[in-house]
């Protein structure tokens, strides 16, 4: 599903990265993470060590490395809108300030906080556990803050 995540507030910059070979098909709005080697990027997972940003283009599945453009926050206060694909979220400030994990490249898990990938800024569309909602987030576990939580 496209536009799972999208830049919202603050200045986001478009940067090019090398997508890992056979990373899978990428859609606009997918969350992108750095690979364990730190040289390439791939689709975000719930075990990501650092999030880079949001895919700005679509790429088909390929066996070779490709270049991908990614929207990256220029500072820590930049926010993004994202789908909550697992976990509950309330509309408004109830969950504000809590960290949570990325469920996968298409959504956040607001009830899991093992890796502290995202900071919840505000709930926008309420969701019960397992239903789809929407929230405003900041990226907490980026390259600069790698493993600082």
CA pseudo-torsion sign 102, 28, 137, 117:
positive
Residue 103 confidence (pLDDT) above 50: yes
Domain that holds residue 135: 79-139
The answer as to whether 114 is a domain residue is yes
Q: How does pLDDT run across 53-101, given as a tens digit for each residue?
A: 999 999 987 778 899 999 999 999 999 999 999 999 999 999 999 999 9
pLDDT the model gives residue 142: 72
End position of a domain, from candidates 48, 73, 98: 73
**What is the tens place of the pLDDT at every residue in 4-24?**
999 999 999 999 999 998 888
Q: Which of 57, 73, 89 represents a domain boundary (last residue)?
A: 73
Domain-ending residue, one of 73, 104, 130 = 73
Neighbours of 69 (CB within 10 A): 15
Tokens of 107: 């959504």
Domain count, the chain: 2
**Do 48 and 95 reside in the same domain of the chain?**
no
Strand (E) or helix (H) holding 118: strand 118-125
């Amino acid at each position: 599903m496209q536009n799972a995540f999208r830049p919202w507030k603050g200045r986001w910059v478009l940067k090019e990265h090398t997508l890992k070979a056979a990373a899978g098909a990428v859609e606009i709005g997918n969350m992108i993470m750095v690979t364990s080697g730190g040289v390439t990027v791939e689709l975000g997972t719930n075990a990501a060590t650092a999030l880079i940003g949001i895919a700005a283009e679509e790429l088909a599945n390929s066996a070779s490395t490709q270049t991908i453009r990614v929207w990256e926050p220029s500072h820590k206060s930049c926010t993004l809108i994202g789908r909550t694909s697992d976990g509950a979220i309330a509309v408004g400030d109830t969950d504000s300030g809590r960290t949570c994990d990325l469920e996968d490249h298409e959504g956040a898990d607001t009830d899991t906080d093992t890796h502290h990938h995202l900071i919840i800024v505000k709930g926008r569309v309420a969701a019960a556990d397992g239903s789809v909602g929407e929230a405003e987030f900041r990226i907490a576990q980026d390259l600069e803050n790698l493993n600082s939580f």
